[in-house]
Copies of this chain bind each other. A is one copy, B any other.
Amino acid sequence: MNTQRNILLTNDDGIGAKGLRALEEMLRPYGNICVVAPKEPQSGMSSAVTINHSIRLIEYTREEGMVRYICTGTPVDCVKIAMSQLFTDNKPDILVSGINHGANASSALVYSGTLGAAAEGVLYGIPSIGFSLATHHDPDADFRGCVYFGRKILEQYFLRPPALDVFLNVNVPDIPLEQIRGIRWGRQGKGAWIKEFDKRTDPHGHPYYWLTGEYRNDEPDAPDTDQNLIGQGYISIAPHHLDSTHYGELERLKQNWSLE
């Protein structure tokens, strides 16, 4: 086993998250770890970058085989500043983001900071994976299944690497390790959030709104969606890319529209 790999870790729950400690444990056997994680929780930050103010990068802890930095920006900022300031001579051999406290399947991919960071890795030409545990954002979630099966996935990853224009999205069901039924390849399921706001009134009589909502699964019977695989007790693994062009519709519209 090559233990000389350079590994970049980040997340969107922030430097103090238990899921990040679990990710460090998962990756320790595979090389030297550099953690660059957000100072504050950054759930739902998608691929946001910080433009209108400056950010900081602060060394936090340093030990044998692992150095941790705090970044005051978003998950994508963490990747960008790591590449710009820390990996100036050598690219990381792999970027791993997570382990997110909460599933990142179906439309959650659109909003996920965890996967925003993995997508940013692809833009830098780094092999990238995101891991998420399908807990309801429980800060004290049990990550043993993630660590155990995550290593199986990493072994395959190093042996037979995916194309460099994809990142992998791994979702682990929130059930005891012994009950996990295995790992299955999935695709992004269709669905959306509904009933999204909790409207309240402040002491001055003015309304304000908290984002909340329920997930509506638009393919409840599909055997191969990420969302449904998790629901059935499987770990879902799916490759994603950044070219969102819909080529079929491009050809159709090209024929149909008159733009002269």
A-side interface residues toward B, CB under 8 Å? 41, 43-52, 54-57, 74, 76-77, 80-81, 83-85, 107, 109-111, 116, 119-120, 123-124, 152-153, 156, 160, 162-163, 165-166, 182-185, 187-188, 190, 192-193, 195-197, 199-200, 206-211, 237-247, 249-250, 252-254, 256-260
Contact = CB atoms under 8 A, between A and B. Distances in A.
Given A57-B207, A81-B197, A192-B124, A43 B51 contact: yes
A226 B190 CA distance: 27
A166 B246 CA distance: 7
Contacts of A258: 156
25 contacts: A43-B51, A46-B46, A48-B111, A49-B211, A80-B211, A85-B199, A85-B209, A109-B244, A110-B123, A156-B257, A160-B253, A160-B257, A162-B249, A163-B252, A187-B247, A187-B250, A188-B244, A190-B243, A239-B245, A239-B253, A240-B244, A240-B245, A241-B244, A241-B246, A242-B244
